[in-house]
Structure 1
Amino acid sequence: MAWNEETQIRCRFSFKCPRLWHRLQPTAEEGVRHCHECDRDVYLALSEADVRRFSEQGRCIAVPVAQPDGEAQSDEPCYVVGRVMPAYDGEEEE
């Protein structure tokens, strides 16, 4: 595996964006880029705590993913961009 093989963040996306993290507009805030397509900021989530925090805030995120050898781009890490499903709390809805 290549890129981010030591980072394993478990989450499920309710929406996966086709946009690429490295092509989103950088902002003044480190780890935040702006998507002009949907006019939202996208936050880099490098831990499960980041995913939970940004998800609770309703933010779009970018999460690092590992790529099989031979598919990784040597100059850019790979990220999945989108919105995360709310965390399952074990309670049934009425």
Structure 2
Amino acid sequence: MDIRNCSIKFRCPMSWDTLVKTENKLIRYCKECDRGVHFCNNEHELLIAMRNDWCVAIDAEEDDSKFALMGSISLRFLDNIE
């Protein structure tokens, strides 16, 4: 997924595999922050998650290594609104 015009408010140090599975395979529970983490497969799902201020996990790649990037992501233009 190509993410543009977004900023990472919080990057979670946990990994998707360590989160507690729920009935929904795209949502896992984080015991550290007591929140659900929503796995987003596309831009539409990510936009819904950002609008609801949900913690998210998205497929990412860094230095030829694939992983699930997790945290809280917001649209950049919303960061400037108080």
Q: Same fold (TM over 0.5)?
A: yes
Query: 1:55 maps to what in 2?
Result: 50
Which residue type is aligned with residue 31 of structure 1? Answer: L
User: TM-score if structure 2 supplies the norm length?
Assistant: 0.81
Question: Structure 1 residue 51: deviation in Å?
Answer: 1.0
Structure 2: state its 5+ residue gaps. Answer: none
Query: Which structure is larger by alpha-carbon Rg, 1 or 2?
Result: 1
Structure with higher helix content: 2
Q: List gaps (5 residues or longer) in structure 1.
A: 1-6
Secondary structure at 1:66 match in 2: strand
* 1:29 corresponds to: 24
Identity, in percent, stands at: 28
1:46 partner amino acid: N
The CA deviation at 1:21 is: 0.9
More strand by share: 2
TM-score under structure 1 length normalisation: 0.72
The CA RMSD measured in Å over matched residues stands at 2.1
Deviation readout 1:10-68 (Å, 9 max, x if unpaired): 33211111111111111011210000011100000111111110010110000110233
* Superposition misfits of 4+ residues, deviation over 6 angstroms: none
Equivalenced residue count is: 80
